[in-house]
Amino acid sequence: MNRGPVEQRKGQANIWRYHQSVGLGYFEYFQFCEDIGARPLPVLAAGVSCQNSTRTRETGQQCVPLADMPAYIQDVLDLIEWANGPTNSTWGAKRAAEGHPAPFGLKYLGIGNEDKQTDGFRERFEMIYDAVKKSHPEITVVGTVGPAPDGEDFNLGWKFADKLHVPVVDEHYYQSPQWFWDNLHRYDDYDRTRSKVYVGEYAAHDRGRRSTLRAALAEAAYLTSLEKNGDVVHFASYAPLLARRGHTQWTPDMIYFNGTDVFPTISYYVQQLFGQNGGDAYLPTTVSDSKEFAASAVRDGKTGDLILKLVNGANTPKPLRVELNGITTLPRSATKTVLTGANADVVNPDGGLPAAKPEVSPIQIGRVFDYETPPNSFTVIRMKTK
């Protein structure tokens, strides 16, 4: 579990050509999640290596010998005990000795990541899955359905998840901004009785793989559809999250940094606004003209606030008439937060003035009010009801 002084941990290169310093082990990861108020979701290998591990695409999957699987499964169970066990348990005592006597409250555990759906994978996944269910029924296991939003592994992965009744599966997709606009209704017709979905890796890849406003708005539009389908999509996470300038082979990433500074992309601000303006109840939202436009409305049960999100992906303003039907008490005040830029192709430069960042201002509202969304913009209108 990457224990001991960081400087004594042995670094290694991974298959994606990154050097891993092993400075962020399980302990640091769980502490990081605790510090930022997030739930940890560690993802463990399903007893097989990545199919790309020999750098020959989809032919390199290697399996842990079946004779060694009991020991591997015990490692998985030990991790759960280390995270959640009492201080008088074997691994809970080790956690306490490292300075964290309180349990971390692990609830979710991913098994496998974008794996090729082979007999070897399925056999080992089922062994791990059954062992976790038996020993730790309080843990929700997240399965995998491959690296793409469709195709053979996607279909076989879902079929396997149906067979085992896996509670959550992890879908991944890196696609063009237009794909996200074209798939706003992807989850509308998902079977509500099947596994729930964790969109564990996604990002809009614009021309040149740049972190443009165009890409960020496509992601914002897509997130409104995930809010609408929150009964199916329980989690979503932009990927990759962090990248050091000069040491990447993959773009875009959400937050860049160097030895002294941090450089948020426009996509970061989209994620920030959704994180700060979430709700626990989706309100029916009707949009008369949805071309290059998306919207969602939610209520924050803790504050009672109504939150309206509006995404205009067009190069022209879009005038709207907002009707707060069914609202018995008119909100007392409201603010609008607008994320926009000079055009859809702008990016936030490192160390310079951001081309797009959220701007907050008051807005006058009524039970019916007009609002013109700027071109290429994401607007959040938050209405106070208490």
What is the percent of the chain with per-residue pLDDT over 90, rounded to a whole number?
A: 82
Q: Which residues contact 73 (CB under 8 A, 6 or more apart)?
A: 127, 128, 131
Nearest to 348 by CA among 248, 216, 239: 216
Number of Cβ within a 10 Å radius of residue 89? 15
For the stretch 192-210, pLDDT in tens is: 999 999 999 999 999 999 9
3-class state of residue 173 by DSSP: strand
Beta bridge partners of 298: 282, 307
As a dihedral over the C-alpha atoms of residue 67, residue 72, residue 74, residue 79, rounded to 10 degrees, the angle is: 180
Segment (H or E) for 337: strand 333-340
Q: Distance between CA atoms of 78 and 91, rounded to whole angstroms? A: 7
pLDDT at 146 > cutoff 90: yes
As a dihedral over the C-alpha atoms of residue 17, residue 242, residue 213, residue 352, rounded to 10 degrees, the angle is: -110
pLDDT of 326 reads: 75
- Tokens of residue 15, six digits: 């298959």
Q: Distance between CA atoms of 323 and 321, rounded to whole angstroms? A: 6
pLDDT of 57 reads: 56
Does 114 qualify as catalytic in the annotation? yes
Mean pLDDT of 225-246: 95
pLDDT of 2 reads: 53
Nearest to 114 by CA among 52, 176, 25, 187: 52
- Residue in 28, 98, 114, 138 annotated catalytic: 114
For the stretch 305-336, pLDDT in tens is: 999 999 999 999 999 999 888 777 778 789 99
pLDDT at 59 > cutoff 70: no
Q: Distance between CA atoms of 375 and 132, rounded to whole angstroms? A: 50
Q: Convert 103-120 into a string of H (helix), E (strand) and C (coil).
A: CCCCCEEEECCCCCCCHH
3-class state of residue 372 by DSSP: strand
3-class state of residue 77 by DSSP: helix
- Long-range CB pairs of 241-245, under 8 A, 24+ apart, other chains included: 245/350
**Tell me, what amino acid is at 233?**
V
| Confidence category of residue 58, pLDDT binned at 50, 70, 90 | low
Beta bridge partners of 170: 144, 198
| Confidence category of residue 287, pLDDT binned at 50, 70, 90 | confident
